[in-house]
Amino acid sequence: MEQNTQEWLTFRKDKIGASDAPVIMGVSPWITPYQLWEEKIGLKGPKEENEAMARGKAMEAEARESFQRLMQIEVEPKVRVHSERNWMIASLDGINKEGDVVVEIKCPGYKDHEAAMDGVVPEKYKPQLQHQMEVCGVSHIFYFSYNPTSYKMLLIERDNNYIKELLDKEQAFYQCMQDCEPPGLVDRDYIVRQDPIWLEMASKWRELRSKSKALENEEKSLREELLKLTGSMNCQGGGLRVNKVVRKGNIKYNAIPELKQVDLERYRDPITEYWKIGEV
């Protein structure tokens, strides 16, 4: 499968790729887990390509050729799927035919490239590299930082303890995708509003909400007293009518043997959005 094609974009939409790992681990400076979740379930489109991303793509082939000359080995871009977790993929910048040499190519800005020149991989890339090693089943990966005037190759070893934590968090995130339940939001997921009209409306809402809760509690208490007074009989009086309502129980679709092999998701309606308002 060729990367950056429509086929590739469709394939990876319901998967967790190596570039998703830093987001899920909370070290991405670009997007949050919640924002990634919105993309995965189709509420938002993918982040638009910026100048740095475009530069990296344009220089990748040149950087890969430089790596091949340095290592005297041929690698090519490939998409790999985990042998046990089919939701876990890696779109690799380079891997050899034997599958034991993997390279992650970066054509980064000045700060990240200087860090590599000093022998340091930026923390935001660590989850990506460990994810790739897990998918490919290798014990190490090459991190190749490149620009037209200099390059640095670092050998990164597999960290099984870190990978265990990574797998746990990715599995939890994948479950959020399946259940259409968002991961926890962080401060970056909120816009802080201090404008007068917002503060006025918020104050009025909190005041009305407080009164509403008090009335709800009072109504609940009166309801319970009225039900006690009925003695389980249908009653009316004082402008009220209280009668018993009987409904059928819900069907437990997951308990129907004939449906075990049926993909019920095919019959689900599209995702809908709704909003909740709550106090901080």
Count of residues in the chain: 280
Q: Between vectors from CA 125 to CA 119 and to CA 130, what angle results, nearest 5°?
A: 100
- pLDDT tens readout for residues 96-145: 999 999 999 999 999 999 999 999 999 999 999 999 999 999 999 999 99
CATH assignment, 6-188: 3.90.320.10
The residues spanned by each domain of the chain are 6-188, 192-267
Query: What's the pLDDT at 1?
Result: 64
Q: Say whether pLDDT at 265 is over 90.
A: no
Q: How far apart are CA 276 and CA 171, in angstroms?
A: 27
Q: Which among 23, 6, 24 has a CA at the least distance from the CA of 173?
A: 24
Strand partners of residue 40 = none
Q: Looking at residue 266, what DSSP letter applies? A: G
Q: How far apart are CA 237 and CA 267, in angstroms?
A: 47
Q: What pTM, to 2 d.p., does this model score? A: 0.82
Confidence of residue 279 (pLDDT cuts 50, 70, 90): confident
Q: Dihedral sign, CA of 127, 131, 133, 137?
A: positive
Max Cα separation, the chain?
A: 93
